[in-house]
Structure 1
């Protein structure tokens, strides 16, 4: 940088020369002249001049050393003591060669007090180290030690050049100030050319910097820089930028087609560092309302990162980002298009990991992390439709430009779908943030998962929320074995795995299913539209169901329990290979080795008092129909209760108006009834609970009675008998038992 310093300091001495030359204490030495042949040179230029001379040479010396020489074709001196020089050349010579310079001009005028000097017409300054300044008028005042230039000013030195309207050189500070319409050009090597403009600018020789002020614009090989104030440090040899400081609201924008991965950087203050010797941007520090916007891929807006402090590092080419750290009010806008919601990340701190080959590869967010999805539909007011909060967020990045893809939220995770009142809480959450048409498509939750969808709540160790499918898959803990659990206003389900559809659309549970059902609390019209419980159970107490698997369809209201299915409430039980509950009709179906146990209230014939008695039934299939209050057993039906031991191809039990009561029972095909020591067989049997009456039809109906010492057999088309009395009615005619067939041993019943 030292080679540029020579063009500034000598100016003070050069201008001071004129004061010394014409001061009272100045030493003048005028060289000898050859005889002048051309008499025209002796013609007086200015009638007011009291003295004129030609080819004047004035030398100033400090001690025995000459340091300045002034040459002029003519010198005019006036009565007031002022002096005017024509075709002036001022040479300043210092002990150090890099401080020597020459000023030339058409004319020069020295003030009356010998304190000021004006140079007019094609003013040209050139230093030994290559600085050149051209203007039309220059003014020097010894008191201020300032060289002032009016009008158009141009300058150059090596690869550095520029212009302005008006300029001032401050001798004491070795500072050149460009007063208006300042422009500086740098022809640099690999870093490209630099074209900077501003209202004013200041250039320091000693420290090799340029200060641009007001409306600063810098164009450098595909990048545009703007700010109110820019301080640029450069290399004096190559003129390449080394460091640039932007103040008062700065921005750096990459032009269309430029290879840089960022589109724009903005901040109240920006510091830029450039690599040596190529002058390529390697680091940027942005402070106060800082932001950096990446270039987007086809059809997408680029990712934008903002915060109070942003620290960016670039690879050797100045294009690829290798580090991006943000502090204070971190706000990230993910790439988006018109087809999906806008995605945002908020945090206190953001840090990244990257390398010079791949660019940015990872990012981490800490301190009150929030992820937001904002609706961009024209018909919908802009609002947050999805929100995730956590202590920390770790992400993977792609494309070398910081596009966030895979994300892992850690610590006190809260996931909310605000548009549908849906919430998930967990220790961690893993998801993919980029590429979905509707934002997040799938989210993996782990550790103490809690889920809420309207009135439905769930807990599990892990969960996978498939947003596009509208389903969350809940999994039990592997270590503790704690099952996943779903609860709504009327039921709960526990299982190793539960696939829960949103908005009550249904669920699928597998592995040790346990379900608890309760009746709705509403009454009247509201109750009519609510899920219903079978009349076999009480609405006052919960019903329990276990099975291997459960499939519930919210649209049809069908719940299918399969694999070792068992339903119970108190002493009432139903078990089968599968049990189906219809919550719309309150029907129940049990299929495959169905078996049920009911407590029915009946009048004891002996005591004539109401007593509770157990009824056990089995069949391959069981079907309870709430509309008819009928339970049907088919395919090898077997019912055992206080009214006897009954088998048939099909048995129907009609319940009474109150739970626990039965109006009648119907048996069809190959009916066989065992009642005390009586065996009745036939084609159909009807039992009336209120009278204890049995009516059996068949071809024939057979009743065998074991009398211990003998057997009585009664045959007929229709037999009617009662639990409490011995009378049997055959074909509608009363007939005493003595008319029945008596044998020592009872024959085999017609149905075994």
Structure 2
């Protein structure tokens, strides 16, 4: 290495220049800076022999190691310019600004490994964070400690921690807030942010990474996607240690997992919208609150909140529940006229209740609190109603046009049975039936009323009572089961 020094006429150093594997070090307080480059030039303040400006060129590497925290950072670039504050005699100059004159990168090494999960450590390797850009500018505080790093142009970040997939992000620009210990506390990325971690990919206008809480806040047209779902919202927050996900400001999600994971009302993607969402990628739970709405195939669900439990394959809706479900095929009502050939809409049930729980494994929906379940021909009111579903099979091309139900999509859940309990009231046209229990069968098109004092009121035909009453929607047949045995009543309405 060759060193050249220049002096002023008065005798103090003005410039020191080195060529060929230039190395140097500087200790400030409890940290040490080491650098090396192919060429280096240092200009000094007059009279005090303290650095004013340093320019390093060729394979520049600047390493800072903190004694107490154990954290380290390493900056690499082709050319680096460092400016120092005006130094006083007997006191060392402190850096105030440093910038790369070209592409640069900086890498932080944490003092301790951060797994974020309990249990035995998977590796003793410390976490690493890397930031790269077309230009880096580091700003220093009054004490000469780096406090902020500005990255401009083609920003790329990487975060590697033991037991976690590599996290990468790209953006137009970025700012890193630095700690006195040498590490970073917060990183802000702006402009077409793209983040990828394992199977998850994210995009937004802006992203904020907070190291202490291990969170990522996405704002501005935020969209997160993995192998099973996609969520859009103005604000999305990820907590990396716990797997928690929060979305706010009007959320829209699509669940693509039609292969059996999670609750499925149809073999189609499920769409969910709400004011806010709180979910956990590790437990598979997602809670949508505020004007929550879910639609999948012909099924629709609305409530104050909708909860999805992926592992349990359960949906819970609470507060002002309204739902629409298709019905399985059944007999046509007697008064139905032939339908002209053409597409036919499915027969739908409209349901309102205080709470709803759908269990996919059992093919059942349980509703409570002032339940009303209404189809085209009948309405059921009860304290609680259980709806039982069957999966639609492949459409039958031999089914005649105008049958009782349209050919549904294969795999769609359809109501095959409905059971109401607690003050059941069933209405069909001018008929009204009451009992403690009412059961509807879609295949037979009938209601069976039992418990309490089953009664059928008919404005034309009068009142019928019995221990159990069975009436058919397609005609006026009533089967009465009483102490005297069963009997069948068949009535024919006469138009006046």
TM-score (norm 1): 0.55
Partners of 2:143 and 2:281 in 1: CA distance: 46
Unaligned stretches of 5+ residues in structure 1: 1-267, 477-482, 522-526, 740-752
Corresponding residue for residue 472 of structure 1? 216
- Where do residues 391-540 of structure 1 align in structure 2 (5 Å cutoff)? 391-398=134-141, 403-419=145-161, 420-435=165-180, 439-476=183-220, 483-502=221-240, 505-519=243-257, 532-538=261-267
Is the 8 Å Cα contact of residues 77 and 105 (structure 2) preserved in structure 1?
A: yes
Counterpart check, 1:367 vs 2:102: yes
Cα RMSD (Å)? 3.0
Shift of 1:383: 9.4
Corresponding residue for residue 252 of structure 1? none
Q: Secondary structure at the match of 1:590?
A: strand
CA distance change for structure 1 residues 295 and 533 in 2, over 3 Å: closer, same or farther? same
Counterpart check, 1:349 vs 2:92: no
Shift of 1:274: 4.0
Corresponding residue for residue 216 of structure 1? none
- Where do residues 557-706 of structure 1 align in structure 2 (5 Å cutoff)? 557-606=284-333, 612-642=346-376, 644-658=378-392, 659-706=412-459
Shift of 1:697: 2.1
Counterpart check, 1:294 vs 2:46: no
Q: Which has the higher contact order (CA 8 A, sep 6+)?
A: 2
Is the 8 Å Cα contact of residues 330 and 350 (structure 1) preserved in structure 2?
A: yes
Shift of 1:317: 6.0
Q: Secondary structure at the match of 1:628?
A: coil
- Look at both structures and tell me which one has the larger radius of gyration over its CA atoms: 1
Partners of 2:199 and 2:96 in 1: CA distance: 41
Corresponding residue for residue 272 of structure 1? 5
Partners of 1:604 and 1:696 in 2: CA distance: 19
CA distance change for structure 1 residues 611 and 549 in 2, over 3 Å: closer, same or farther? closer
Shift of 1:276: 5.4
Partners of 1:497 and 1:684 in 2: CA distance: 47
Shift of 1:595: 0.8
- 1:572-614 deviations in Å (ceiling 9; x for gaps): 2111111110111111111111111122222233589998311
- Where do residues 81-230 of structure 1 align in structure 2 (5 Å cutoff)? none
Shift of 1:549: 0.3
- Where do residues 265-344 of structure 1 align in structure 2 (5 Å cutoff)? 268-275=1-8, 277=10, 279-298=11-30, 300=31, 302-316=32-46, 318=48, 320-337=50-67, 339-344=69-74
CA distance change for structure 1 residues 603 and 520 in 2, over 3 Å: closer, same or farther? closer
CA distance change for structure 1 residues 489 and 327 in 2, over 3 Å: closer, same or farther? same
Q: Secondary structure at the match of 1:305?
A: strand
Tell me how many residue pairs correspond in the alignment: 447
Unaligned stretches of 5+ residues in structure 2: 88-92, 114-121, 339-343, 393-411, 492-496
